[in-house]
Chain A
């Protein structure tokens, strides 16, 4: 692999939405389980494993269908959680052909109960994703507004961005959520997650193909690939500003990895009977 630009490693972030790092115990209270000790991969195997993962394209980010952009919002935790949920959803279906784009704004607004600024916590994102799930956003893999007609409840991606087809004033409080959004959200739940106690567990989870949601210095990110750069091992993450960056081992540890999410009866109809056309359309905000 070509040498990675040092400017992309251990990038400092401005605090933009992640509150305190939850402890392993906090995450277990939210629904994660302890990282199984038998799944630790010894460091002397990492290089070989990375080779195998790259050869078979089995990293979590190999199942990522897109970037997200949080703009100037404080939704980073939910952009990261959404990215991770989508990766595992696609992995279970063995392809990104059935990708569904979920709305980070939905999760953030629900977690903060309508507080727009100030950020949220990784623990809350996990709990909410296991308890409620997520609803899709308007836009999908097929383009602008393509998921609007496909699902019963949809929402825009973020309150922090102002592309022409997204609302300029996009903040939505939970009380403005359409009635019955749980009906759609339940199809996109996290079913199983493991707490990540340290850097070794972090790298091991990546080598097993699981995305990790954690954060540092006030910014939350979704890690998805283990990388060897010269003699150093790095964790590649999909930042919620349309870019891939890298963290070295000293910044790793904490957060959770997603190992299993809800699987649809038929990936062509991810929410089964809960689709547009069969029931009255319900959506949020202007498109």
Chain B
């Protein structure tokens, strides 16, 4: 009888718990959710919030959260654990609240990572039929291991005659300020990601192709211009 009575007293207290909030929020409108169960003097409650991605919350008190949400429909739930210290009983109940944030999410700008070059497997030849746009051709090497042979100078001369900027330099080269020269910084970063010596093509400061150094003048020209 006593157990039945306790259960009867406990269930209504949890059922009356209320997860307050609106059904619809405007874009950028603050979203505040509060769980307010009716508790007796002998009861305490613990709240465990379940916030699925991409929602982010800050718990400002035990029963209140502030929510950051992109536009769209969402559901937040909370698990309430109530303990009655007089009767030494525990109840667990989960509540959920669906809501909608109006508006459209801004389209993120395309992310261009200059440090992430198009790296071609050195064991696979570059597709010579696919020229890439470029305004600077850089040959990068480590002088401890490699000195550019004459054919590279010959190739660079031809590319220079086409109006391209050309560079051939050791990977440790610096400008007067002691830093990596700005025009070749992206090329150097790309070259370091593949084995040196490397041929790196740059367009407007962005690497468009980084490959192991081809072994002939014609192969260098093809890597830049495509196959004629």
Contacts and interface: CB of A to CB of B under 8 A. Distances in A.
Interface of A: 36, 39, 49, 52-53, 55-58, 62, 91-95, 133, 186-189, 191-192, 208-209, 259-260, 262-266, 271-272, 274
Chain B contact residues: helix, strand, loop or mixed = mixed
Given A192-B170, A208-B147, A264 B153 contact: no
A262 B176 contact: yes
10 contacts: A52-B151, A92-B167, A93-B166, A93-B167, A94-B167, A208-B147, A260-B172, A262-B175, A263-B173, A266-B182
Contact of A58 (B144, B150, B167, B176): B150
Given A39-B147, A209-B148, A56 B153 contact: yes
B21 interface: no
A187 B175 contact: yes
B176 A209 contact: no
Contacts of B152: 56, 58
Given A95-B166, A262-B176, A58 B154 contact: yes
B96 interface: no
A57 B181 contact: no
A83 B86 CA distance: 97
Nearest to A189: B176
Interface in B138-186: 143-144, 147-154, 156-157, 159-160, 165-170, 172-177, 181-184
Interface of B: 143-144, 147-154, 156-157, 159-160, 165-170, 172-177, 181-184, 217
Contacts of B170: 191-192, 259-260
Nearest to B182: A265
Nearest to A185: B176
A209 B169 CA distance: 13
Given A91-B168, A92-B169, A94-B166, A263 B150 contact: no
Given A52-B150, A58-B153, A186 B176 contact: yes
B157 A271 contact: no
B69 to A, nearest CB: 45
Nearest to B154: A56
A263 B184 contact: yes
B175 to A, nearest CB: 5
A264 B154 contact: no
Given A56-B217, A262-B175, 16 more contacts: A36-B144, A52-B150, A62-B153, A92-B167, A92-B168, A94-B153, A94-B157, A191-B172, A192-B143, A260-B169, A260-B170, A265-B181, A265-B183, A266-B182, A272-B177, A274-B176
Contacts of A265: 175, 181-183
A263 B154 contact: no
Contacts of B169: 92, 260, 263
Contacts of A57: 153-154, 157
A262 B181 CA distance: 9
A57 B149 CA distance: 11
A260 B143 contact: yes
A259 to B, nearest CB: 6
Contacts of A187: 175-176
Nearest to B164: A94
B151 A56 contact: yes
Contact of A94 (B160, B175, B181, B182): B160
